[in-house]
Amino acid sequence: MTIAVYGAGGIGCYVGGRLAAAGADVVFVGRPRLAGELAEHGLRLTDYRGADLVVPAEEIRYATTPAAAGEADLVLVTVKSAGTAAAAGELASVLKPGATVVSFQNGIRNGEVLQERLPAHTVLTGMVPFNVLNRGAGAFHQGTEGALDVQRHPSLRPYEAAFTAAGLPLTQHDEILPVQWAKLLLNLNNAVNALSDLPLRDELAQRDYRRCLAAAQAETLELLQAAGITPAQLTALPAHRLPAVLRLPDFLFKRLAARMLAIDPLARSSMWEDLRAGRRTEIDYLNGEVVRLAESLGRTAPVNAQLIELIRAAEAGRSVAVPGSTLLRALRSAAAAPAS
């Protein structure tokens, strides 16, 4: 059975590369730039636990046109959220009957977008809980912990062993929406991290940055409660306790939440990587989802809206490396401002 990785960037190259290194038949579909990079360097896949795997260039099948996904029995969609509709349209013309499609993307609604455009196929929503850093020259590094989360479905059974052999076992859920929102709560730090211009571990070691994340999470949790959505527990702490722990003074946080700081020193957020590369970020599919949830409830989400505004400014060329105290003042000011 062939597995296609559609939109093989950082996450796609890492997940697909681990599967290929474990012997799975994988075809990557992505941009010509990465095709050339992998043709020259192959893939090197490392993680925070010490794994160091190599897939030689001659063993990599990397295509730049959608047709290559037509041979796949399982398609892992890893394009940026803004490209989901376009990817679905491309896949609709090439997928073979019976193929299963899994969205391993940030955000909440990508699985729905894919299913709407691929009604004849099984489309499942998944989630990649860990961070992957593109180090260049075909090297991709997993800097934080986590397995792969996905909707439970019989069509995944033939592939479970392959994912387990790759060191990426599938954790299957009957309900995926609570898992998605739990991941999004953690991903609200992407914007804070990108604006800090620091590695994740260094950013989270500073109380002011943690207070910024706590403010974004607390606002989101209030909205989720109003919407009747209870996030799954993905960390040692239940989601509703995260803001209080993040607000603790540094010395207490280091003692009580040491695991949050047990992050690989290389780890950065994907949003930081996008800003550094001059790419449009996924802010609309992270903090933007919170704003949309608020609007659906007739409410506002000023903290998350302010983070969106700051990231948009950074995308337009404004320098980052915003001090934690400055960012915290901006968020508090936004939260205190009267709703328009």
Q: How far is Cα 303 from Cα 18, in angstroms, rounded to an integer? A: 38
| pLDDT tens for the 340 residues of the chain, in order | 899 999 999 999 999 999 999 999 999 999 999 999 999 999 999 998 899 999 999 999 999 999 999 999 999 999 999 999 999 999 999 999 999 999 999 999 999 999 999 999 999 999 998 889 889 999 999 988 888 999 999 999 999 999 999 999 999 999 999 999 999 999 999 999 999 999 999 999 999 999 999 999 999 999 999 999 999 988 888 999 999 999 999 999 988 887 777 778 878 899 999 999 899 999 999 999 999 999 999 999 999 999 999 999 999 987 779 999 999 999 999 999 887 5
Residue extents of the structural domains in the chain: 2-174, 179-336
Largest CA distance in the chain: 60
**From edge to edge, which strands make up the β-sheet containing 52-55?**
52-55, 43-47, 139-142, 132-136
In tens, the pLDDT along 139-182 reads 999 988 888 999 999 999 999 999 999 999 999 999 999 999 99
In tens, the pLDDT along 208-238 reads 999 999 999 999 999 999 999 999 988 888 9
Q: Which fold has domain 2-174?
A: Rossmann fold (3.40.50)
Please state the pTM of the whole predicted model.
0.91
- As assigned by CATH, the class of the 179-336 domain is mainly alpha
DSSP code of 286? T
DSSP code of 58? G
Contact between 6 and 70 (Cβ < 8 Å): no
